[in-house]
Each structure stands twice: as structure tokens, then as C-alpha cells.
Amino acid sequence: MNDWHRLGKSFAELSKRHPFLEDHARLMRILVNTLSADPRLEAVEAGISLSTLTLKPRGSVHWVAVATRGTRYTVAIMDALESAERDMVQCSAEKVVFTILEYLEKLKR
């Protein structure tokens, strides 16, 4: 089970240590709060790597990484074995949850 509260708190503290990441931290906290209420993510391990939200289906060597670029989100599929990006897209806040779920579905195939 994911500790969404801890993840949200980590993003809140990020802007205290790195003030230039204030907008990023705010957007990521909003996203974490939104994802915490979504039952479709119960089988996904959520974490933080640097300032990026990581979502990994249990047992997978791939994960979905979520960050921001300006006011848009960047969503990418990453390969743990090669630490390489497999697919990436930028999307608006309105489409980010759909995009994350779409990318997680790609990992199941």
C-alpha cells in the first residue's frame, strides 16, 4: 500500500530545500492528492526519485516517471535495466491522470 500522505509531504518539503522548484512541488502535490483517491493505482508502487514521481507496477522492471515542465506534466516510461527512456509525452494537467493510466496499461502488455 502506498503512503500518499508521505509522498505529498515530500513534495511540500522539496520547495523548502530548493525554492526554484516551488511551482513543480505545488503541481506534484496536486497530482499526488489526485492519484491517492484513484483505486486503479492500488496495484502500483509509488515513490519519489529526486524530484520525480515514480509509479511502478509490482513485479515490473519498467516504471512511469512523472515530472513537470512549466505548467505541463512530462510522463515517461522508463526501463530499470538500461535506465533509458522508452516513451515520453508532455500533457496538460487535465490529461495527466489519463496519460499515466494509459502508460501503466502499456507496461502490462
Percentage above 70 pLDDT, the chain = 94
For residue range 79-96, list pLDDT tens digits in order: 766 555 577 889 999 999
**Alpha-carbon span 34 to 31, nearest angstrom:** 5
Cell numbers standing for residue 15 = 520547495
C-alpha 98: how far from chain center: 12
Confirm if 50 and 11 have CB atoms less than 8 A apart.
no
For residue range 59-74, list pLDDT tens digits in order: 888 889 999 988 899 9
Q: What is the pLDDT of residue 85?
A: 58
Where are the chain's structural domains? 4-108
Q: What is the pLDDT of residue 84?
A: 53
Over the chain, what is the mean pLDDT?
88
